[in-house]
Amino acid sequence: MKLFQRLLVAPAALGLMAPLAANAAEVNIQDVGNYAGLEEQHVETTAQFSDVVPGDWAYTALQNLSESYGCVGNAYSQNLKSGQALTRYEAASLINSCLEGGLVASGQGLSQDAARLSNEFGSEMAILKGRVDGLEYRLNEVNAGTFANTTLISGSATFTVGAVDDSTSGEKLHSIYAYGIDMSTSFSGEDSLDVAVIAGNAGTQPLNVLDSAEGTTNQLQIDKLTYSFPVGDFRVTAGPLMDQDDIISAKLSSYSAEFYITPHEYSRAETEEGPGVGATYFFDNKWNASISAVFDDGDDASNGILTREGDDVITGSIGYDGDGWGGGVILSSGDKNGSDTTDYDSWGWGLYWEPEDFPRFSAGYDTQENEGAADNDSWYIAADYDGWGPGTLSAAYQVIDDETNELAAFEVYYNWDVADGISVRPGLFTQEVAGGEDETGAVVETTFKF
């Protein structure tokens, strides 16, 4: 080989091998140097042929290279086994695959066959490399601004049509919607940054009592922003926006609760939200426990966190989840805006039973002792049954007592998954109203999950 040729070939070979061996320790540089300094020798060339065919030295060298470096996964290695001809670019692709899969992985230097093939097909390998680099550059441009591959996104949209008889907010048939997006990103595989975005137009409409309803006046709103991570055997969650019921490990009910009735609305109130921190722990014997603090005025500098003027809620729970049954207890205490007359203490318990081929039953009790107002308590019983048709039939009965009135509510609904990600939920509910007519609602909800 002429000196001029050596000067051209050596940098080209190094340039081709550099992206295949990101770690310099894995490449035998001496072997590459030896290849560049090979003495002149007679080499049969295939440059005059458009294809590399059986019988060529290059064809045999490719077969040896494929077997030696274990690059049989390349699509063109199958052509070698069947004796089919290869184009020069197919041969160059196979050489690249062999060197990347074998040379870099094994830490070996260039064999004589590999050196001769790299020399023979250097131009085609360089062209392929340039095209791949160009594609990677374009892909990076496309991916710029997209979500990381550790980010999971799920969402739902609910269309609701219905009417509530004897409602003081109106009785006519009307329609509302709710929309939500949940995003979760992990940075270590064990942590999670969680964000929830909601939107809806329930407002003061009578259907705003439904579990799916969102009243954000048609505007996107951040509903949750937390970060959770392990600390030993504990799972710690903290963030500038979380609900009181976000950090409750105890499972008090297996009821679907997707329609009207909300169990344990005092001890795990969804209206308490703000900056917070909490931790959960799951024991090996099926027991679990949690504790959290949510500061409803934590984003207000005039009230602050853990101050007399602030609105702070402490919640704890303990639960047990056995085989087909379980339950738990929740306790919460609210220090409301520096006024003892608005403080409260709540506690509730719940049990669930999930037999096979039979309805799943749940029952529970909840109470709230208010310092400057009447106490509240409620109890409920509920069931889900999968044995009727393609969906799930659910029903619940609840009684709420505020020391003045004892009001009952009842619901029944059927949740039917009509397609992947699409469910239809027709239902009826009735609610006793103090000093007025009972309200009865008839509703059909369609939910799209993606």
What is the CATH number for 341?
A: 2.40.160.10
In this predicted model, what pLDDT tens digit does every residue of 373-428 receive, in sequence order?
Answer: 899 999 999 999 998 899 999 999 999 999 899 999 999 999 999 999 999 999 99
Nearest to 99 by CA among 84, 110, 83, 112: 110
Mean pLDDT of the chain: 82
Shared domain check, 163 and 129: no
- Note whether 206 and 231 are same-domain residues: yes
What residue numbers bound the domain in which 120 lies? 3-143
Rounded Cα–Cα distance for residues 429 and 442 (Å)? 7
194 and 113 co-located in one domain: no
Give residues with Cβ within 8 angstroms of 431, minimum separation 6: 209, 260, 407, 409, 438, 439, 440
DSSP state for residue 391 in the 8-state scheme: S
Residue 48 predicted with pLDDT over 50: no
- In the prediction, which pLDDT does 338 show? 58
106 in the same domain as 55: yes
The candidate with the shortest Cα–Cα distance to 291, out of 310, 317, 265, is: 317
Q: For 217-226, which contacts have Cβ atoms below 8 Å and span 24 or more sequence positions?
A: 221/197, 222/195, 222/196, 222/197, 223/180, 223/196, 223/197, 223/198, 224/194, 224/195, 224/196, 225/194, 225/195, 225/196, 226/193, 226/194, 226/276
Q: Are 267 and 366 in contact (CB under 8 A)?
A: yes
Tell me the pLDDT band of 342, cut-offs 50, 70 and 90. Answer: confident
Q: How far apart are CA 224 and CA 273, in angstroms?
A: 9
Residues 6+ apart with CB under 8 A from 259: 210, 211, 394, 411, 413, 425, 427, 429, 443
DSSP 228-282: EEEETTEEEEEEEEEEGGGS-----------SS--TTTTTT-TT-EEEEEEEEEE
At 33 the pLDDT is 38
Residues 405 and 442 in one domain: yes
Quote the distance between the C-alpha of residue 191 and its chain's center: 12
Q: Are residues 182 and 45 in the same domain?
A: no
Rounded to an integer, what distance in angstroms lies between the CA atom of residue 416 and that of residue 413?
A: 10
Which residue has 């799209």 as its token pair?
448
The predicted model gives 346-363 an average pLDDT of: 96
Number of domains composing the chain: 2
> Does residue 373 share a domain with residue 229?
yes
- Whether residue 192 contacts residue 157, with contact meaning beta carbons closer than 8 Å, is answered with no
User: The tokens 């027709």 sit on which residue?
Assistant: 426
Whether residue 94 is found in the same domain as residue 198: no
Q: How many CA atoms lie within 13 A of 208 on its CB side?
A: 15
Q: Work out the average pLDDT over 46-58.
A: 65
Strand-pair category, 221-231 with 86-87: unpaired
Residue 93 vs residue 196, higher pLDDT:
196
Give 2's Cβ-side CA count (13 Å radius).
3
| Same-domain check for residues 113 and 175 | no
Residue 134 has pLDDT above 80, yes or no: no
Q: Are residues 168 and 260 in the same domain?
A: yes
Same domain, 261 and 374: yes
Task: Report the alpha-carbon distance of residue 120 to residue 62 in Å, rounded.
Answer: 12
Spacing of C-alpha 379 from chain mean position:
34
Predicted confidence at residue 286, as pLDDT, reads 95
pLDDT value at position 215?
Answer: 93
Please tell me the distance from the alpha carbon of residue 432 to that of residue 400, in angstroms, as a whole number. 10
Last residue of a domain, one of 110, 143, 176: 143
Confidence of residue 171 (pLDDT cuts 50, 70, 90): very high
Weakest mean pLDDT among 42-46, 259-263, 396-400, 423-427: 42-46
Half-sphere exposure of 83 (CA within 13 A, CB side): 2
Residue, of 187 and 123, whose pLDDT is higher: 187
| CB-side neighbour CA atoms (13 Å) of 247 | 33
427 with 312, same domain: the answer is yes
Share in percent of the chain as helix, strand, coil (round to 5)? 25, 40, 35
